Amino acid sequence: MKSTFKPRPLPLLHEKDLKTLVENRSVYTLQHCELNVFETHQQSEKVKLVFNDMVLTTMLRGKKVMHLFGSQHFDYLPGESVIVPDNEEMIIDFPEAGLDNPTQCIALAVDSGMLQDTLQLLNEKYPKAEKNEAWNIDVSCFHLQNTSEITATIDRLVNISTENFAAKDVIADFTLKELLIRLMQTQARKMILDSYHKHTNTNRFAAAVQYIKNHIHEEITIDQLSNLCCMSRPNFFRCFKREFGISPVDFILHERIKAAKLLLSDSNVTITQACYAVGVNNLSYFFKLFKRIEGKTPAEFRKNLN
């Protein structure tokens, strides 16, 4: 299921304001970043775009097909972000854009000095649990589903960029650092979920994720996980949340709902059976938890599958 966390679309340009129907661009320049708002009102192919700095792009409306790194191409939809290295050429198709169905995207170009300062701060003051690992933006993990935290931070940065007040650059710098940290946490969480089985002997959190996956139908305690990782309970809790942007308790709950969604895709499995099969022993709580994480009830989720 696609993420429900989408930055709010910006006000659309009127046709009389358009200089061209392909990639109309508004720019808001801050001290350490540049916010670009792109809007397209016409089907187009192979539109090229390059930035001198690393850029975070986020889809607001419509659909693009992105071509990156020479050969990779993929659909790019609202609720998703893409990280593009400096001087990397993006080639973009707009298969569905029209005056009544515009495509809208933001691109945030980040000053390399700000990125390096943020990485240095994290690696010196808040190092990762494994000594051989360091904080960094991993461009191999470039296509992300937005989390609620990333969405909220992007929305704040857009608001700051488009307003005019004395402390604008100072507040933008703090918000930009927060966004970079949340991006790295989201990347770390995605990579550990995608390949935890490859790193259980070298990364203690990979072993914890494997345990959670294998015992999702059971009660799982923080003490069990912290002992598995050879860490004290407080240190495990603190380091897990620092590296992945989510507490281990919330991580377990998200994994339970993810497992429940797979079960609910089978029409022969009842909602009650799915609830107990993923280790939730209270049906009312299961409904509340599912609605909080997915934005809809289990019955609504199942209905949307048809």
**All structural domains of the chain:** 15-194 (2.60.120.280), 199-305 (1.10.10.60)
- Calculate the CA 170 to chain-centre distance: 25
Residue that is written with structure tokens 């994720």 in the block: 209
pLDDT tens, residue by residue, 97-133: 998 899 999 999 999 999 999 999 999 999 998 888 9
68-73 average pLDDT score: 86
Instruction: Answer yes or no: are the C-beta atoms of 62 and 103 closer than 8 Å.
Output: yes
Instruction: State the pLDDT at residue 99.
Output: 86
pLDDT tens, residue by residue, 126-178: 999 888 899 999 988 999 999 999 999 999 999 999 998 889 999 999 999 99
Instruction: State the pLDDT at residue 1.
Output: 38
Over the chain, what is the mean pLDDT?
91
User: What is the C-alpha separation between 96 and 190, in angstroms, rounded?
Assistant: 29
Cα distance between the two ends of the chain = 13
For residue 252, give every residue at least 6 positions away whose Cβ sits within 8 Å of its Cβ, in sequence order, or none: 212, 220
Q: Which token pair is 179?
A: 């966004």
Residues of the chain above pLDDT 90, percent = 76
Q: Which token pair is 96?
A: 């569905």
The helix (H) or strand (E) run that includes residue 51 is none
pLDDT tens, residue by residue, 237-265: 999 999 999 999 999 999 999 999 999 99
Q: What is the 3-state secondary structure of 73-90?
A: EEEECCCEEEEECCCCCE
Question: Is the pTM for the entire model greater than 0.75?
Answer: yes
Query: How many CB atoms lie under 10 A from the CB of residue 44?
Result: 17
User: What is the C-alpha separation between 2 and 230, in angstroms, rounded?
Assistant: 35
The helix/strand count (H/E) of the chain reads as 10, 10
pLDDT level of residue 213 (50, 70, 90 thresholds): very high
Residue that is written with structure tokens 């959670």 in the block: 212
Asked whether the predicted pLDDT for residue 90 surpasses 60, the reply is yes
Instruction: State the pLDDT at residue 71.
Output: 75
Long-range contacts of 239-242 (CB under 8 A, 24+ apart): 239/128, 239/129, 240/205, 240/208, 242/126, 242/185
pLDDT level of residue 199 (50, 70, 90 thresholds): confident
Asked whether the predicted pLDDT for residue 283 surpasses 90, the reply is yes
- Calculate the CA 32 to chain-centre distance: 22
pLDDT tens, residue by residue, 15-27: 555 455 566 888 9
Instruction: State the pLDDT at residue 174.
Output: 96
Asked whether the predicted pLDDT for residue 184 surpasses 90, the reply is yes
Instruction: State the pLDDT at residue 22.
Output: 64
Asked whether the predicted pLDDT for residue 62 surpasses 50, the reply is yes
Instruction: State the pLDDT at residue 23.
Output: 67
Instruction: State the pLDDT at residue 120.
Output: 96
Instruction: State the pLDDT at residue 179.
Output: 96
Phi/psi-derived region of residue 214, left when phi > 0, alpha when psi is between -120 and 50, beta in every other case: alpha
Give, in degrees to the nearest 5, the angle at Cα 56 between 163 and 187. Answer: 125
